[in-house]
Amino acid sequence: MKRINVSLATRIATEHLSYRSLIVEIETDLARVSQTSTASLDGLRKLLRSFHSQVRRHFALEERGGLFEVYDEHPLAFRRHARAMLGQHRVFLERLGRILETVNRIERLDSPEFTEFSRDLRDLIAALRKHERDEDELLERLVDHDIRHGPDHP
């Protein structure tokens, strides 16, 4: 049975932390621009672009680093949960892609488009936070499972 590679698990957990600090920066900037209709969106656009590449790289690390293959060789509860998380990656990237397109189009902060963009961004951030929290928990359970069971135990 495949076991979790400790350096991969550590890298994923570390990325979750840097990811969270970028989310906080985005939230702070979103709050700033929401306060005045003449604020510039340039900073937020830049943050969202780097967030998009960070999220893409992070998902690729989880997908190509072999993490899901490890889950696949574990009991059904792990496999199910992991498959659901994997499916969320594609959905998140699509949503983030749409949010980026919208923010590049917005001309006025007092427009309905900006209100819709803010709502979509806040919803996505909440869903991403939950995803990463669930993932941390699942990863912890996986490591715990592998420590408790012998090398040939399923």
Interface contacts to Fe ion, rule CB under 5 A:
62, 135
Q: Is the dihedral of CA 126, 86, 18, 138 positive or negative?
A: positive
- Nearest to Fe ion of 8, 100 (CB atom): 8
Count of all residues that appear for the chain in the document = 154
Which residue, judged by CB position, is nearest to Fe ion in the bound state? 135
Answer whether 73's CB lies under 8 Å from 2's CB. yes
Q: How far is the CB of 34 from Fe ion (least distance, A)?
A: 28
Q: How far is the CB of 40 from Fe ion (least distance, A)?
A: 31
Answer whether 52's CB lies under 8 Å from 97's CB. yes
- Nearest to Fe ion of 62, 146 (CB atom): 62
- Nearest to Fe ion of 50, 104 (CB atom): 50
Q: How far is the CB of 83 from Fe ion (least distance, A)?
A: 12
Q: How far is the CB of 125 from Fe ion (least distance, A)?
A: 14
- Nearest to Fe ion of 40, 50 (CB atom): 50
